[in-house]
Amino acid sequence: MALTKTDPPALGALPATMRAFVIRPETEGEPETAMRLEAVPVPEPGPDEAIVRVMAAGVNYNGVWAALGTPVSVFKMHREPYHIAGSDASGIVWKVGSNVRRWKPGDEVVLHCNQSCGECAECNGLDPMACSEQRIWGYETSFGSFAQFCRVQSQQLLAKPRHLTWEEAASYGLVYFTAYRMLVDRAHLRAGQHVLVWGGGGGLGSMAVQLCRLYSAHALAVVSSDQKAALCRALGASAVINRSEFDLRKHPGETPEQAHHRMSEMRRFGKRIRELTGGHDVDIVFEHVGSATFPTSVFVCSRFGQVVICGATAGYNLEFDVRYLWMRQKSIIGSHFANAYECDQANQLVIQHLIQPVLGEVFPFEEIPRAHQIMRNNEHAGKMVILVGAPRRGLGAHAG
């Protein structure tokens, strides 16, 4: 049975095929052309897995990387002939494997995107993020959420916050759970600290700003537009800096004059920070931009402060003056997504209305490639979401 746009199957039954946006090795390139609509077989769940009917799916930067095929092709990470991206979803559990006890068809869920083997010592005593088989679902695995059904490990299922619509519920998982681990568990965020948040109006940044507010820390959000500045203030940022007022970028093959100019711009940026914080340097720098910002992050971080980093949108080969690191005893902390416990703890804060989704533009299913192109071009604010099974916005929320 082929699945059309409008005919959801009976709960528990899986159609033979589904509509999905797929990337194939030969289509890798700009998102607008790399992701193509096809009818593909619906996977069956393994014993510890579930098939979820996707109601809405969040757009993340890893979909851009998957489309581009850089810095590494997803086809080097899994053996499927095609890649269905999408690491965030809200939906309905449709079918479960024989070992699954905690979830049943009909449960409304959101998903976290960490997969691991579940059997090793690291999974069972240390942290599933340390598992040698740890993978990001929808990036390092196929059968992500840009399809009518997706396949997940049952440990990826989390209760959908009842008060949220499908599109709101699909918007926050990947970026929020990542930001939670970075700030709460890796950097041990404390009340009263000053935190510099790069990209405060983006996916990760908008969640980092809210976490700072919730933990009574001061978020200093960096943005590139007035629209994103207003968003950050509304989310609780203590102050906002527009980065276009500073020339911080390190040019390849920098001349001594360019290096001198950049240094004076970094000092001016540090001075602006201290003006906004009442004379304090930042205790934590929330990093995910990489080469364009990292030298500044290390420079402006306080003595004994921490730069916590999870990504490198602008480039992953980082050059910085290490004297500012060792002389002032700063730390660089790597962080990657989050384990199931952290995801659950963070999700509870959404259920309790303490953290809000930051919904940007909402697109119909057919516009998945365009939404990724917008992200690639940095033309968005907050989180973009795709309606998949949900026929229109505003559905899925329950009262009480």
Q: What is the binding site for ligand NAP (CB under 6 A)?
A: 60-62, 174-175, 178, 198-199, 201-205, 222-225, 228, 243, 288-289, 292-293, 310-311, 313-314, 336-337, 375, 378
Residue recorded with tokens 């989390």: 158
Q: Cβ of residue 196: shortest distance to ligand NAP, in angstroms?
A: 11
Residue type, 160: K
Which is nearer to ligand NAP, 19 or 288 (by Cβ)? 288
Nearest CA to 302 out of 218, 212, 196, 389 is that of 196
User: Contact at 8 Å (CB) between 225 and 232?
Assistant: no
Would strands 218-223 and 239-242 be described as parallel, antiparallel, or unpaired?
Answer: parallel
Q: Cβ of residue 245: shortest distance to ligand NAP, in angstroms?
A: 12
Which is nearer to ligand NAP, 17 or 356 (by Cβ)? 356
The CB density around residue 272, as the number of other CB atoms within 10 Å, is 16
Residue type, 152: V
Q: Cβ of residue 380: shortest distance to ligand NAP, in angstroms?
A: 6
Which is nearer to ligand NAP, 224 or 302 (by Cβ)? 224
The sign of the CA dihedral 398, 164, 227, 283 is positive
Q: Cβ of residue 94: shortest distance to ligand NAP, in angstroms?
A: 27
Which is nearer to ligand NAP, 60 or 210 (by Cβ)? 60
Q: How far apart are CA 214 and CA 69, in angstroms?
A: 37
Which is nearer to ligand NAP, 199 or 396 (by Cβ)? 199
Q: Cβ of residue 97: shortest distance to ligand NAP, in angstroms?
A: 26
Q: Cβ of residue 329: shortest distance to ligand NAP, in angstroms?
A: 26
Q: Cβ of residue 299: shortest distance to ligand NAP, in angstroms?
A: 15
Q: Cβ of residue 63: shortest distance to ligand NAP, in angstroms?
A: 9
How is residue 272 written in tokens? 């602006």
Q: How far apart are CA 19 and CA 12, in angstroms?
A: 18
Which is nearer to ligand NAP, 40 or 308 (by Cβ)? 308
Q: Cβ of residue 162: shortest distance to ligand NAP, in angstroms?
A: 26
3-state secondary structure of 157: strand
Which is nearer to ligand NAP, 198 or 365 (by Cβ)? 198
How is residue 392 written in tokens? 């229109």
**Dihedral, 291, 292, 294, 298 alpha carbons, nearest 10:** 140
Q: Strand ranges (DSSP E) for the chain?
A: 17-22, 36-41, 49-58, 89-96, 108-111, 114-115, 135-136, 149-153, 157-159, 194-197, 218-223, 239-242, 282-287, 301-309, 331-334, 359-364, 383-387
Which is nearer to ligand NAP, 163 or 249 (by Cβ)? 249
Which is nearer to ligand NAP, 149 or 198 (by Cβ)? 198
**Which residue number places its CB atom closest to ligand NAP?**
202
Query: For 382, phi and psi rounded to 5 degrees?
Result: 65, -155
